[in-house]
Amino acid sequence: MHAPADKLASRNQWPKLSASLVWLRDLTLGRHPLVLWLINAAILLLLAGWIVWDARFSSTWDHLEFQLGWTEDGSDLDEFANSLAAQWKIFVLGFMVIVGAVSLGMLTFGITMGSRGHRALSSWMVFLSLACCWLGLMNSWDELIWAGKRLRIDSHVAAFQSIAQSLNQDWPKVDGQRESLGPFMAYPSGKAKTLILLTTPPMAQTGPTFSSIERSDAGGIRFQLSGSERGAWLEWHPSGDQPESFVGGLLEPHHLMRSVSLGEGWFLVSYDQAAQVS
């Protein structure tokens, strides 16, 4: 005689139900790494997003390294950390780094000496995926920061158009003042290549600000960004011309490190001022 079909179906479902109950038990008792997976992945995604979208992330990280004693030289740190909000950002970043490191360490311990749930094939696959993502984040740290700068600056290029056009048509040769720039000093006097702004330009209220402007021999206009975008240059170059290493009006060498086109002759550029221009 054959067993009824409904009894046979119930017998087939029992192993699945039993496995689900065991999985829930292991999860509740901390024997399954799902919670650690979610925590670690969330920290990873939040950190990557923070790197891209926060113009102050590099400064926040530098201050965190200094406060933790990972670096002893604090001479290059800016003063943004003096505010309460900046201190909270440093604290939150430190907390995220600790939680990410601890959760990844617990996962490492779990797959080597943990319970069966931690040593399952799926656990190994997730752990290796997370580890690869963390390695990728560390290796592409600078690229993410650069990509974030490009996204932020690209949306403000239009605000620089009129200033660049005005300077291209009438470049100052001596100290002076203009509505879009405010007062400035021109170097060298009489054959100026560099304009040093004495006040913050009006456009800083709605977008990135800049502290000086350089003019290239080919007629290009270089804006040295400051504030939260410090360390980058926004440049306009005439057709056929591109960013290159140069010596400014103050005889400071700028060695080209990287540049990316933003369209219509505009480039986002990074220079190393410590290197000598060949």
> Would you state the pLDDT for residue 262?
92
Q: Where are the alpha helices (DSSP H) in the chain?
A: 5-28, 34-53, 57-68, 84-113, 121-139, 141-154, 157-169
Give the model confidence (pLDDT) of 100-128 as tens digits: 999 888 888 877 776 666 677 778 888 89
**Confidence band of 276 (pLDDT split at 50, 70, 90):** very low
Give the model confidence (pLDDT) of 211-238 as tens digits: 999 999 888 999 999 888 888 999 999 9
Compute the distance between CA of residue 248 and CA of residue 61 in angstroms, rounded to an integer.
Answer: 30
> Would you state the pLDDT for residue 13?
61
> Would you state the pLDDT for residue 77?
63
Give the length of the chain: 278
**Confidence band of 277 (pLDDT split at 50, 70, 90):** very low
**Confidence band of 8 (pLDDT split at 50, 70, 90):** very low
> Would you state the pLDDT for residue 106?
84
- Least confident residue range of 40-44, 129-133, 226-230: 226-230
Compute the distance between CA of residue 237 and CA of residue 223 in angstroms, rounded to an integer.
Answer: 11
DSSP codes of every residue in 173-238: SSSEEETTTEEEEEESTTS--EEEESS--GGGGTS-EEEEEEE-TTS-EEEEEEGGGTT-EEEE--
Token pair belonging to 115:
């319970």
Give the model confidence (pLDDT) of 172-186 as tens digits: 888 889 888 889 999
State the chain's maximal CA–CA distance in angstroms.
110
**CB 78 within 8 Å of CB 230:** yes
Local structure of residue 48 (DSSP, 8 states)? H
Compute the distance between CA of residue 85 and CA of residue 82 in angstroms, rounded to an integer.
Answer: 9
CA distances from 115 to 24, 95, 127 (A): 14, 28, 15
